[in-house]
Chains A and B, each alone.
Chain A
Amino acid sequence: MRRLFLLALVLLSGCRPKTGEPLEAKVRFVPEHPTVGKAEVCIEVDPRLELVRVEVVGDMTHAGMIPVEAEAHPAGPGLWRVEDFDFNMRGDWVLTITAYDKKGKKYVKEVRLTVP
């Protein structure tokens, strides 16, 4: 019985959608410590990655909050930027940065910050 359960778990976790490779990136904000309102999000990656699309999704850590979604724009070699990311509430935020390269490969990075 236990083996069956373990086997089912392994199989089920095998079915889970792929989340992507870890993205090596430096993430900065302007202002450095964002407060409630708009802020710039700068994402610096290795230019050799040849990314074609970068998305930023901001979630609060409480269930039921609508995520803030934004598309980053290229702003130089390996530099991507969201000019007016809307931190619309005080509290803990989790930014999920999802990037795709030319071949469609997906990279993901998570950044946690507190907006006072």
Chain B
Amino acid sequence: MKTPDLLRVPLLGRFFRWRYSRFALQVPLLLVALLALYDGFFGRQLAPKNFATVSVWLHYRGFLVLAIAVLGNLFCAACPMLLVRGPTRFAKRFLPEFKWPRALCNKYFVIALTLFYLFAYEYWDLWASPWLTAWLILGYFGVAFVVDTLFPEGTFCKYVCPLGNFNFTLSTVSPTQITARDPEVCLSCEGKYCVNGRVETPSGRKTLREAPNAEGVRYPGCETKLYVPQIKSNMDCTLCMNCVRACPYDNVAWKLRAPGTEPAWARYKIDVVWLGVLLFFAGFMNAFAMVPPYYQLAEHLAEVLGTRNEAVLLSTIYVLWTGLGLFLTLGVTTLADRVSGVRASPLKAVRFWGSGFFPLAFAMWAGHYAFHFLTGWASIIPVTQQALANLGLPVGEPDWTLAALVPENWLYPLQVAILYLGLLAASYVLFRRARERNHFLAGGIVFTYFFLLVALALWVLAQPMEMRGTLLLPQ
């Protein structure tokens, strides 16, 4: 079936083919980041009244899941962190470039960084501190600069950035994907420019790979090394549109596709599947850490372990929960394999069934972020006014009562709908997998597991919120 190509939409197609389209998308987010840095460091240190905390923890996260649901990984496309490219190219002239270690050419390093970030988020209450949020932004720019200077471009996005990999994983459910318009054209394409880059020199067309220093008009290829005719997934695609500009045959399409279905037919490597599984359990924990039963659990654990050390308690809860999640996933998927008569290793079982977690992970984060975004979306207006006023601009008195976008009693039904949609997409993945094995009971076993997880998530989201920085109340 022929599906619409967004690059054929007149203005959109022209915009994305324009050399500076990415820069044009990055500039607004760079301005947001600069204002967040200023207000985070010098503004009032009160999260709901500071531009850093409101823009990062409310709007950035809210718009991010919305963009992924509606279109795709637009936030990687507009990522201002990659504006460090100018300075890194300059620094590269004086510094050696290293190869990213082979052992780290997978998602395990990102998984470790994501776990550390989630721990830091709770332990240091990043969400409550404009100052730490500003440091996080600055640190992110710094790490992007160092990694992209010392290693090939694209290394940071693909192997280091927890946020980018969060976007990659969730965008597997997006309704668009980069693909080749006509695979036949690719077969006879001499340079594979979409991945190798293109340079138009006076002596003719070359790839940037064979002639990296050639003079001429340069069109960089895919930094995350995706080869357009073979793309089956949004994983690792930053929507930078380099491939669109590098292809001399106008053979790259940005096609609409059925949302939520990619995990049913894409075959991910095991590290990618673990990332999806982890993001579901981490998303669950992120929501659970805001409700009273979490604090009761912490009190109970403090008694059992005989310590009130927050780092110990937090690590224990995280390790137990994610460990339990990974262990249960191994167990349930292996059981499904055995029931369907397959005697493969447990890791192969996770690889086969585990991609069903991708839509669930999206739904978990989207449900949680939707709550915060919809309850406080308009607060961006007074915080921006205040931050600009701090800069001496005449922007009027902020109205701090601006906040909710939808009535409060709509929020839970909306979260329920998002989670059920996630479960529906996950059951489609499981159904397809079960059909491959011709064994629907096996799919049913994994579905029951998913259903129970979603029920648990709905119970968490139904709890009253408790926004507390300290894990334990003072005795």
Contacts and interface: CB of A to CB of B under 8 A. Distances in A.
Interface of A: 11-17, 19, 36, 57, 59-67, 69, 89-92, 94, 96, 114, 116
Contacts of A64: 48, 54, 57-58, 372-373, 375-377, 379, 403
B194 interface: no
Contact of B469 (A59, A61, A96): A61
A96 B46 CA distance: 10
B58 to A, nearest CB: 5
Interface of B: 38, 42, 44, 46-50, 53-54, 57-58, 125, 127-128, 292, 372-373, 375-377, 379, 389-392, 400-401, 403-404, 464-470, 473
A91 to B, nearest CB: 3
B376 A65 contact: yes
Nearest to B470: A114
Given A12-B392, A66-B404, A114-B473, A61 B58 contact: no
Given A90-B464, A114-B473, A116-B473, A63 B48 contact: yes
Contacts of A36: 464
The 3 closest A-B pairs by CB, nearest first: A64-B376, A15-B392, A91-B467
Contact of A62 (B38, B127, B373, B470): B127
A91 B48 contact: no
A66 B391 CA distance: 24
A62 B391 CA distance: 24
A19 to B, nearest CB: 8
8 contacts: A11-B392, A12-B38, A17-B389, A59-B47, A61-B47, A66-B400, A66-B404, A90-B465
A65 B464 contact: no
Contacts of A17: 389-390
B465 A91 contact: yes
Contact of A65 (B125, B375, B391): B375
Contacts of B467: 60-62, 65, 89-92
B128 A66 contact: no
A89 B292 CA distance: 11
Nearest to A96: B46
Contact of B390 (A15, A90, A94): A15
Which of A12, A36, A90, A116 has most B Cβ within 10 Å?
A: A90
Given A16-B392, A62-B47, 16 more contacts: A15-B390, A59-B47, A61-B47, A61-B125, A61-B469, A62-B48, A63-B47, A63-B372, A64-B58, A65-B376, A65-B403, A67-B48, A69-B400, A91-B465, A92-B128, A92-B467
A58 B274 CA distance: 42
Contact of B466 (A12, A57, A69, A90): A90
B391 A60 contact: no
Contacts of A16: 42, 389-390, 392
Nearest to A66: B403
Given A61-B46, A67-B400, A89 B464 contact: yes
A61 B470 CA distance: 12
Nearest to A12: B391
A63 B62 CA distance: 12
Given A17-B389, A66-B401, A94 B42 contact: no
A110 B430 CA distance: 54
A89 B377 CA distance: 19
Contacts of B391: 12, 15
B292 to A, nearest CB: 7
Contacts of A12: 38, 390-392
Nearest to B466: A90
A63 B465 contact: no
Which of A13, A36, A69, A114 has most B Cβ within 10 Å?
A: A114
A10 B294 CA distance: 44
Contacts of B464: 36, 89-90
Which of A11, A12, A16, A61 has most B Cβ within 10 Å?
A: A61
Nearest to B51: A63
Given A12-B391, A62-B48, A69 B401 contact: yes
A17 B389 CA distance: 7
Contacts of B465: 89-91
Nearest to B43: A16
A17 B473 CA distance: 36
Contacts of B389: 16-17
B128 A62 contact: yes
Which of A11, A36, A92, A116 has most B Cβ within 10 Å?
A: A92
A63 B58 contact: yes
B337 to A, nearest CB: 43
Contact of B468 (A57, A63, A69, A114): A114
